[in-house]
């Protein structure tokens, strides 16, 4: 178990973690000595600095990973798994401080979002830690005189690039399986959210051999790009925007290395006239991730509601969202925190303007916080748009903010067509009591994650990932660990 005492004051912890990468089992400043500010989006105040990662830091982290990987891969798979599961226990013991820290840097409300994420972080390590023994090969009936088999081998050094919206969970779903499979990892955190990830890595490094897990903070082009391009990185797993995903894919193609890409979404939620209204409303709130300010690639941001219940659905949804409290992310009574950054806030506001220009009606919900210390906070009230079309930009493009479109429908075939009329294919839901209709919809909806009458979030053991431009490859399962973090070697022994 870790010897590091929990630090429940996120401001003090942020200062402690200031200006550091984590390389080869120890904190290390950037090679250049440069840093960049980490800002509390609820107040606009700087809470820490992060090490400014560049190519020299990437070189150091990859070299440490390369060295450590060889010995790590020699350990029995179940032993690696046990250590990763032990990481889960350490993270669980520290989950409150991790939750507070991620709330501070991202603005996600502690009670409704950050604690939930810290829970999934440790759970993912526990889940993958139990899968060491599943790294099995096969015997092949090739020839009775030739014993033919396959074994699973690690790919080597994995580069894991993560975003800011659920940085801990998305990191865990990449690094835990990668390490159990015998790889060493270099994580590149998102510029907006480097601290909680760094703390998590410091904590698990009390369990793991030095160099097996390393972390760099920095900007995409200066730090992420050299990581993808590094000749000793043999696999990249990336979650972020479609634009950056394409850049990563191109670089990986030049090197001929495999990538996993989890990209954007504009997920449809189809509510039929016979749906359980209360269930569907709860599903819209959960699916739209209002408590996370809609900052989710699976956000149910296009809600198609049958004409017969459209008006009552809109009224009741407004009522429910109005009852949610916007406030200080660290305050226990807060349901909805802030947008992560000024840049993201500008983007969200530009889409709100586009929705109005398209003739939509914005139903603005919830109340802005009144606390004087939050006046510079990046708060955007939830906007529920009606009167927009599926073809309007507000309904077509990913916003990553608390903005959803409610679109009225009457014809079932037409609504399925509209739901699929998007470049994305991450998630979709249908809400109905008609089992035949539900079965038909789940086969026709073009998405990687389709649910009926519920809107669960990603979790270990549920295959997660998109089709179309939402990504390449699925994550979060045993199969994902085998497919993405190992390669098969065929061995033939001539017995004649
Ligand atoms: P978002 O819009 O959610 O910030 P990005 O795709 O820009 O999405 O960022 C996701 C992650 O990708 C972040 O860690 C970011 O620093 C990183 N990133 C951005 N540009 C590049 C790049 N050219 N190469 C590698 N990583 C990048």
Q: Provide the 3-class DSSP secondary structure of residue 26.
A: strand
CA distance 464 to 338: 26
Question: 178 CA distance to ligand 1 centroid (A)?
Answer: 20
CA distance 348 to 369: 18
Known active-site residue 404: no
- The H or E element spanning position 146 is strand 146-154
User: pLDDT at residue 302 above 80?
Assistant: yes
Predicted TM-score of the model (pTM)? 0.97
192 ligand 1 Cβ < 6 A: no
Question: From the alpha carbon of 192, which atom of ligand 1 is closest?
Answer: 4
CA distance 387 to 408: 8
Question: 46 CA distance to ligand 1 centroid (A)?
Answer: 22
CA distance 68 to 64: 6
- Tell me which residue of 452, 420, 418 sits closest to 438, measured CA to CA: 452
pLDDT digits over 467-476, tens only?
Answer: 999 999 999 9
User: pLDDT at residue 128 above 90?
Assistant: yes
Question: 391 CA distance to ligand 1 centroid (A)?
Answer: 27
Query: Rounded to a whole number, what is the distance in angstroms from the first to the last CA of the chain?
Result: 52
CB count within 10 Å of CB 263 equals: 26
Whether residue 263 contacts residue 185, with contact meaning beta carbons closer than 8 Å, is answered with: no
Q: Provide the 3-class DSSP secondary structure of residue 262.
A: strand
| Mean pLDDT, residues 82-86 taken together | 98
Name which residue sits closest to atom 19 of ligand 1, judged by CA.
Answer: 220
- Residue tagged active-site, from 87, 223, 297, 365: 297
How far is Cα of residue 251 from the mean position of the Cα atoms in its chain? 22
Say which residue the tokens 């997920």 belong to: 267
pLDDT digits over 50-70, tens only?
Answer: 999 999 999 999 999 999 999
CA distance 298 to 305: 18
Question: 207 CA distance to ligand 1 centroid (A)?
Answer: 29
248 ligand 1 Cβ < 6 A: yes
Torsion of CA 161, 166, 170, 175, to 10 degrees: 70
Name which residue sits closest to atom 10 of ligand 1, judged by CA.
Answer: 240
- The H or E element spanning position 186 is strand 184-188
User: pLDDT at residue 413 above 80?
Assistant: yes
Give the mutation target among 163, 170, 342 for probing the ligand 1 site: most ligand atoms within 8 A of CB: 163
How does DSSP assign 392-461, residue by residue?
SHHHHS---SSEEEEEEE--HHHHHHHHH-SS--SEEEEE-S-HHHHHHHHHHS--SEEEES--PPP-TT
| Mean pLDDT, residues 285-310 taken together | 97
- The H or E element spanning position 139 is strand 138-143
| pLDDT (0 to 100) of residue 139 | 97
DSSP 265: -
Q: Three-state secondary structure along 302-340?
A: EEEEECCCHHHHHHHHHHHHHCCCECCCCCCCCCECCCC
Q: Percent of the chain at pLDDT above 70? A: 100
pLDDT digits over 263-297, tens only?
Answer: 999 999 999 999 999 999 999 999 999 999 999 99
Largest CA distance in the chain: 84
| Mean pLDDT, residues 352-378 taken together | 98
Known active-site residue 262: yes
Question: 29 CA distance to ligand 1 centroid (A)?
Answer: 21
Give the mutation target among 106, 161, 225 for probing the ligand 1 site: most ligand atoms within 8 A of CB: 161
230 ligand 1 Cβ < 6 A: no
pLDDT band at 353 (very low <50, low <70, confident <90, very high): very high
- Residue tagged active-site, from 54, 191, 262, 446: 262
Residue-averaged pLDDT of the chain: 98
Whether residue 267 contacts residue 373, with contact meaning beta carbons closer than 8 Å, is answered with: no
pLDDT band at 3 (very low <50, low <70, confident <90, very high): confident
Name which residue sits closest to atom 25 of ligand 1, judged by CA.
Answer: 224
DSSP 475: B
247 ligand 1 Cβ < 6 A: yes
Specify which residues 427 forms β-bridges with: 449
- Tell me which residue of 492, 488, 493, 495 sits closest to 154, measured CA to CA: 488
pLDDT digits over 27-55, tens only?
Answer: 999 999 999 999 999 999 999 999 999 99
Say how many residues make up the chain. Answer: 496
37 ligand 1 Cβ < 6 A: no
435: left (phi over 0), alpha (psi -120 to 50) or beta: alpha
Say which residue the tokens 């994580």 belong to: 187
| pLDDT (0 to 100) of residue 2 | 63
CA distance 13 to 487: 40
Q: Percent of the chain at pLDDT above 90? A: 99
| pLDDT (0 to 100) of residue 1 | 58
Question: From the alpha carbon of 218, which atom of ligand 1 is closest?
Answer: 16
Sign of the torsion formed by the C-alpha atoms of 463, 469, 473 and 475: negative
pLDDT digits over 178-223, tens only?
Answer: 999 999 999 999 999 999 999 999 999 999 999 999 999 999 999 9
224 ligand 1 Cβ < 6 A: yes
194 ligand 1 Cβ < 6 A: no
Question: From the alpha carbon of 189, which atom of ligand 1 is closest?
Answer: 14
Specify which residues 486 forms β-bridges with: 154
- Count the alpha carbons within 13 Å of 253 in the hemisphere toward its beta carbon: 6
CA distance 223 to 240: 15
236 ligand 1 Cβ < 6 A: no
């Amino acid at each position: 178990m870790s010897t590091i005492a929990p630090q429940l004051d996120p401001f003090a912890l942020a200062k402690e973690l200031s200006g550091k990468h984590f390389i080869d089992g120890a904190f290390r400043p950037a090679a250049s000595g440069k840093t960049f500010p980490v800002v509390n989006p609820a107040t606009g105040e700087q809470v820490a600095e992060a090490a400014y990662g560049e190519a020299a830091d990437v070189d150091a982290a990859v070299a440490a990973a390369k060295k450590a990987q060889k010995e790590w891969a020699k350990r029995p798979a179940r032993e690696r798994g046990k250590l990763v599961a032990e990481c889960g226990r350490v993270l669980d013991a520290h989950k409150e401080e991790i939750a507070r820290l991620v709330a501070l840097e991202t603005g996600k409300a502690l009670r409704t979002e950050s604690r939930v994420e810290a829970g999934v972080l440790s759970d993912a390590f526990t889940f993958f830690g139990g899968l060491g023994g599943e790294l099995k090969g096969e015997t092949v009936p090739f020839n009775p005189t030739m014993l033919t088999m396959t074994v699973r081998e690690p790919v080597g050094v994995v580069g894991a690039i993560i975003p800011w919206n659920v940085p801990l969970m998305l990191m865990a779903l990449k690094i835990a399986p990668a390490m159990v499979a015998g790889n060493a990892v270099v994580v590149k955190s998102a510029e907006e959210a480097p601290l909680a990830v760094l703390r998590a890595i410091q904590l698990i490094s009390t369990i793991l051999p030095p160099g097996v897990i390393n972390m760099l903070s920095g900007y995409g082009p200066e730090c992420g790009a050299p990581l993808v391009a590094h000749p000793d990185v043999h696999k990249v797993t990336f979650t972020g925007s479609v634009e950056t995903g394409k850049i990563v894919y191109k670089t990986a193609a030049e090197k001929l290395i495999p990538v996993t890409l989890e990209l954007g979404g504009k997920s449809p939620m189809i509510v039929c006239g016979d749906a359980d209204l209360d269930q569907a409303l709860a599903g819209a709130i959960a699916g739209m991730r209002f408590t996370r300010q809609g900052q989710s690639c699976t956000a149910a941001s296009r809600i198609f509601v049958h004409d017969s219940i459209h008006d009552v659905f809109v009224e009741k949804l407004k009522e429910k969202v109005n009852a949610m409290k916007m406030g200080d992310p660290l305050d226990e009574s807060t349901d909805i925190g802030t947008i992560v950054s000024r840049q993201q806030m500008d983007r969200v506001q530009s889409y709100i303007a586009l929705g109005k220009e398209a003739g939509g009606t914005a139903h603005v919900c919830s109340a802005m916080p009144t606390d004087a210390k939050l006046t510079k906070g990046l708060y955007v009230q939830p906007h529920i748009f009606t009167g927009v079309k599926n073809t309007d930009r507000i309904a077509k493009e990913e916003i990553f903010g608390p903005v959803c479109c409610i679109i009225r429908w009457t014809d079932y075939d037409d609504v399925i067509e509209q739901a699929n009329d998007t470049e994305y294919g991450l998630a979709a839901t249908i809400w109905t009591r008609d089992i035949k209709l539900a079965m038909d919809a789940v086969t026709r909806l073009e998405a990687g994650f389709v649910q009926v009458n519920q809107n669960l979030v990603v979790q270990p053991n549920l295959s997660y990932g998109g089709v179309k431009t939402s990504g390449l490859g699925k994550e979060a399962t045993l199969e994902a660990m085998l497919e993405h973090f190992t390669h098969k070697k065929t061995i033939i022994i001539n017995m004649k």
